Amino acid sequence: METIAKTLRRAAALAALAAATGLHGCGLMAEQPYVEVTESPLNWLEIHYYRTVTNQPVWRVNVRIAGDGAVETTAGTSRLVSDSFASKAGEENWDDIQRYRYRADPKRVREMFQELVNADLFRREKFGRGADKPSPGRFMAVRAAIDRKNYSEHVNMYEEDPELAELLYNVILEYYRPGAGK
């Protein structure tokens, strides 16, 4: 009887230790990809979208949205759209770039961030979500920091997670407003 009691105490102690370790981030538990989004100027999202057609220069759109509603969109065929450190100033389309800044409603931005979080923006394992075929002609990459969750993978979202890519494309359509702001 005494050995059973010792065994049960050891098992309880090990279970408590395992639970405590898991709760402090040292366990094998996966990181929770979901969060309740708060309205904060520290939250941000950046989407890079490229449309490639074989006989034309690559069309690039970059949309950056901050949690306080600050929106900056950049578009054109210049490499400066997607790489602010581009150095080939002699390229034919170097100055084909348009940049606009304006303010959006922070409440709508928070709702949009929440929609993306709920659509698995921060889910690292996207097994079974990838496209069956490559996505020729378009590329989309996303980076985000929302309520202490970060995502920054340079992968084509159309191939990695096509459903999320369509949501991100809708964000581009909603916030890319040529001529808005300065």
Question: What is the CATH classification number for the domain harbouring 76?
Answer: 3.30.1560
Same-domain pairing of 81 and 169: yes
Higher pLDDT, 33 or 60: 60
- Residue 140 resides in a domain: yes
Same-domain pairing of 76 and 149: yes
Residue range of the domain that includes 56: 44-175
- Residue 38 resides in a domain: no
Minimal CA–CA distance to 147: which of 33, 70, 24, 22? Answer: 33
Segment 11-41, tens digit of pLDDT: 666 666 566 555 444 444 455 667 789 999 9
C-alpha to C-alpha distance for 179 and 64, rounded to whole angstroms: 16
Same-domain pairing of 15 and 74: no
- Residue 63 resides in a domain: yes
- Residue 180 resides in a domain: no
What's the number of CA atoms in the CB half-sphere (13 Å) around residue 14? 6
Segment 123-151, tens digit of pLDDT: 766 555 555 666 678 889 999 999 988 88
Rounded to 5 degrees, φ, ψ at 166 are: -65, -40
Same-domain pairing of 121 and 157: yes
Average pLDDT, stretch 85-90? 79
- Residue 181 resides in a domain: no
Average pLDDT, stretch 65-91? 88
pTM of the predicted model as reported, rounded to 2 decimal places:
0.74
Token representation of residue 150: 């970060």
- Residue 39 resides in a domain: no
Sign of CA dihedral 137, 88, 181, 43: positive
Residue with structure tokens 């964000």?
A: 171
Residue 80 binned pLDDT confidence (cut-offs 50, 70, 90):
confident
C-alpha to C-alpha distance for 68 and 40, rounded to whole angstroms: 6
Same-domain pairing of 26 and 51: no
- Residue 15 resides in a domain: yes
Q: What is the DSSP string of 133-162?
A: S--TTEEEEEEEEETTEEEEE-S-HHHH-H
Q: What is the pLDDT of residue 11?
A: 67
Segment 92-114, tens digit of pLDDT: 888 889 999 999 999 999 999 99
C-alpha to C-alpha distance for 182 and 180, rounded to whole angstroms: 7
Rounded to 5 degrees, what angle do the CA atoms 63, 64, 66 make?
145
- Residue 146 resides in a domain: yes
Question: For residue 182, is pLDDT > 60?
Answer: no
Minimal CA–CA distance to 51: which of 162, 171, 158, 167? Answer: 158
Least confident interval from 8-12, 60-64, 109-113: 8-12
C-alpha to C-alpha distance for 107 and 39, rounded to whole angstroms: 7
Same-domain pairing of 72 and 132: yes
How many folded domains does the chain comprise?
Answer: 2
